[in-house]
Amino acid sequence: MLAVVGSDVEGRRDADYYLSRWSSKNKALTQYTTPVQIPAPVQGRGRVDEEEVTSADTQIWPPYTADLGGVNATALPSSQETSADGRDARFFKLSVSPMLKLFSLRRRRQQQQVTVGSCRASSGDNGTCYTEADCTRLGGAASGPCSNGTGTCCVFQVGCGGTASQNCTYFVNDNYPKVFNGVGSCQLSVNKINDSICQLRLDFDTFDISPPETTDHQCLNDRFTVSGGSPVPTICGTNTGNHMYVDLGPGATTPSVLTFVTMGPSFDRKWKVKVSQIPCNTDYTAPTSCLQYYQGVTGQVRSYNYDVSTGLQLSNQDYTSCIRTEKNFCGIQYMACADTVNTNPQSFTITGSTSAPVGSVVGAANCDKDWVTIPCISDNSVDPTSNCQDRLCGDNFNVIQSTTSGNVVLFSYVRPFRIVYHTDATEGSASPTELNNRGFCLDFVQQPCV
């Protein structure tokens, strides 16, 4: 009979349980496996997974795999293991799955060998793998196992007035997950987890605050601001699914502060912002001055508060959206996102009015209020320098200025891939009055090098 001795009471109980099952099945196994040599029981040691266990009264079994009533076990003679340290040649190697694994996992958890790293919590959030004790001590909430069951996926969620000192902290409104309908200033201070952090990435998992005022689309009531890093435009409205990078610069810096100001008319506000800390000089660090940074061959870039049916183009915006040039790609194709709501698509509406559509407008002289700049963008994929423009506005996405043009597919082969977006302070009070500008939504596809 095989006995495995655990190092503690719990381990011993596990060992006794599984090994009694093992033992009770051994007789049956011998009926259909051919024992090579069953020597007299010897005192020996063996391994379960990577755990070394001490056994008594061991037997050497031929190689076999069998289902031991839920314990799928493989036992191998393991003479080669003995040569390294000169232990008894009758040592054996035992690997078992999955039930016996529970035994060794529990042992490992007791030893607290947890690989600290990011994990997916059972709630769907991103967490950090810690021991349960560390998670509690650091102020997180345990949400499912990680590190092969040795740790707990620890989720950090902080409300108004809180401080984020952990990578990946969720910043939520008062009453979250319920809405907040009140006046206030809700702040989160973010400390770098170490001096090698250069940026914050803010993922707006939920971002619903009141929209800009309806005349000039300024964020005068609710607004979201970031201080302590590179200048960030004030935004408001709905930005769920969008993101933002904040450059902090290298080394030790003062905390940056994320602020949701809520005021003005009654509104059911709700936010959940994932704050990730990005080290300097990685392949996912955004280039300096990129407020948005997209990775991948395809994707979708949207201005803040974009919504094709109700979104109002925000005023006083001035930022750059960057797309990482993926390996073996040289160009990029853009097209205005599908608009299934409006007859005349509004997924690229930068200037003009839906009551008197201006069509596509191009060039710095014509686009001097609100504009999108994409270096040398052209409708010719073969010769992208023909019909090439830098600055676009109007209410259709096209490089040919025309009131009757529609949205077309455009290309740019200037790297790095950049979209610069600028809006002035006025919309409805402008002359001529601008109406129902939504900003932009562009689908991109990188173009392979030829």
Chain residues that interact with Ca ion, rule: CB under 5 A: 344-345, 351, 370, 395-396, 423-424, 427, 434, 437
DSSP conformational letter for 402: B
Nearer to Ca ion, 51 or 427 (CB): 427
In angstroms, give the least distance from the CB of 333 to Ca ion.
Answer: 19
- 3-class SS at 82? helix
Nearer to Ca ion, 207 or 371 (CB): 371
Nearer to Ca ion, 208 or 427 (CB): 427
Distance CA 413, CA 224 (A): 34
Distance CA 346, CA 7 (A): 69
Distance CA 81, CA 418 (A): 58
In angstroms, give the least distance from the CB of 424 to Ca ion.
Answer: 5
In angstroms, give the least distance from the CB of 440 to Ca ion.
Answer: 11
Distance CA 207, CA 271 (A): 5
In angstroms, give the least distance from the CB of 303 to Ca ion.
Answer: 11
In angstroms, give the least distance from the CB of 349 to Ca ion.
Answer: 6
Distance CA 233, CA 315 (A): 10
In angstroms, give the least distance from the CB of 404 to Ca ion.
Answer: 11
Long-range contacts of 384-393 (CB under 8 A, 24+ apart): 384/331, 384/411, 384/412, 384/413, 389/362, 389/363, 390/364, 391/362, 391/363, 391/364, 391/367, 392/350, 392/360, 392/361, 392/362, 392/367, 393/350, 393/351, 393/352, 393/361, 393/362, 393/366, 393/367, 393/369
Q: How far is CA 228 from the centre of its chain?
A: 23
Nearer to Ca ion, 44 or 352 (CB): 352
Nearer to Ca ion, 150 or 396 (CB): 396
Nearer to Ca ion, 51 or 370 (CB): 370
DSSP conformational letter for 227: E
C-alpha angle 114-118-124 in degrees, rounded to nearest 5: 115
In angstroms, give the least distance from the CB of 118 to Ca ion.
Answer: 40
Nearer to Ca ion, 301 or 337 (CB): 337
Cα end-to-end span (Å), the chain: 69
Is the CB of residue 15 less than 8 Å from the CB of residue 6?
Answer: yes
Q: Which residues on neighbouring strands pair with residue 412, listed in sequence order?
A: 332, 377
In angstroms, give the least distance from the CB of 216 to Ca ion.
Answer: 7
Nearer to Ca ion, 276 or 423 (CB): 423
